[in-house]
Structures are given as C-alpha cells and as structure tokens.
Amino acid sequence: MENKLRAFIAIELDAKNKTTIESFAASVKSKAPSGLRWVKADLLHLTLKFLGAITPIQVEETSRAISRVVIDYHPFTLQFAGTGAFPNWRNPRTLWMGLNKNETLTSLFKQLDAELTLLGFLAEVKPFSPHLTLCRVSDHVDPRLVQPLQIDFDAFSTDPLPPWKVHEVIFFKSHIQPGGPIYTPLSKHGLK
C-alpha cells in the first residue's frame, strides 16, 4: 500500500497581516469559552483546494498541474473584507475573515479546479468563498457562549487590514498531530 499524505493548495499571508490577526485573536481569546481551537498565526493561509490523502504519484501530477495553471497569472493584490461564522452565528462551527471580491483569484481557483478534475480529483460543488479560518469551534461548545464574539469580529472588520500582493501558490502537505498541524511546502509556484 502506498504511503499517502494529506495535502492542500494555498496562498500564504504577508507577515504584517499575520501579526495584526494574531493580536486580534489574542485579544478575543480572553473572552472566548474553552473548546475553541485558534489557528496559529504562522499557519494562517487562504486555501484554494483541499485534496485530502494523496499518493506520491498524485503529488507529482498535482505539482505539474499547478505549474501549468499559475504560469498564466501575474501577481495580484488581495484584501480582507468582513468576518463571520460558518454556517452562521446562531450555530458557529468556524470563525473566519473574508476577502474582497477578486476576479483574478476566482479565475485562478476555477482553473486549478478544472486542471485537478482532469487528474481525478472531485470538482468543487460549492461556490468559491475565499476566507481565512481563524478558529474552529468544538462540537461540545454551547453556541450561545460563542455568539458574543460576533461583536469583536464585527468591530475588527471595520478597520481594514492592508492589502497584500500574491506572488506564489504553495502546495502543502499537512501532518496532523496532538499539538496542532504542521504544514510543509511540497512545492512553490511563482506567478509570472
């Protein structure tokens, strides 16, 4: 049996935004109930496609596919806009930051999804909703204890974070362990 690894394709944040988001998260944690799993600042990223467990052959094929797609894209700018909870604040399971609509990002996502579908990966069925996961809410946490955090999240989103320039797409492997995941780049793909 082949050794499989968990993998995903993502865009990393710039250091300044990571620091600002880390400060915000630190200020909210003191008000938050236990049972919330906050994403560490150095692991913050914008997922383009989660691939699940893949084989070494799929790693090679996927890396080549990403290269074929990104070669058509110039660096572009992204900016955060708004915060929220999935599926909603009445029953929050994930707390997130959204991004301004960006045609280049949407096009990149669609091209990657189409190329990966040719390799046998399932096409995305949900509309692309670019976001940054800040926190996951454990199943045992009472949603009513999380709902007050909406005030802090709404306030944070009124002061826009600086835009950042995307220069590359990164293909990561994810190793899950008790202290939290470790993300290691499998390959980096610079835009033209």
Say which CATH number the domain at 92 has: 3.90.1140.10
pLDDT tens for the chain, 192 residues long, are 568 999 999 999 999 999 999 999 999 998 999 999 999 989 999 999 999 999 999 999 999 999 999 999 999 999 999 999 999 999 999 999 999 999 999 999 999 999 999 999 999 998 899 999 999 999 999 999 999 999 999 999 888 889 999 999 999 999 988 878 899 999 999 998
Write out the E strands in the chain.
5-12, 36-38, 45-54, 76-78, 80-86, 94-99, 131-137, 164-166, 168-175, 182-190
Q: Specify the number of domains making up the chain.
A: 1
Say if CB 137 and CB 94 are below 8 A apart.
Answer: yes
Give how far Cα 151 sits from Cα of 93, 126, 146, 158, Å: 17, 28, 10, 11
Instruction: Give phi and psi for 122, each to the nearest 5.
Output: -70, 140
Spatial distance between the Cα atoms of 163 and 183, rounded to a whole number of angstroms:
24
Say if CB 104 and CB 167 are below 8 A apart.
Answer: no
Give the residue carrying structure tokens 């998260």.
25
What is the domain range of residue 62?
Answer: 5-190
pTM of the predicted structure, to 2 decimals: 0.92
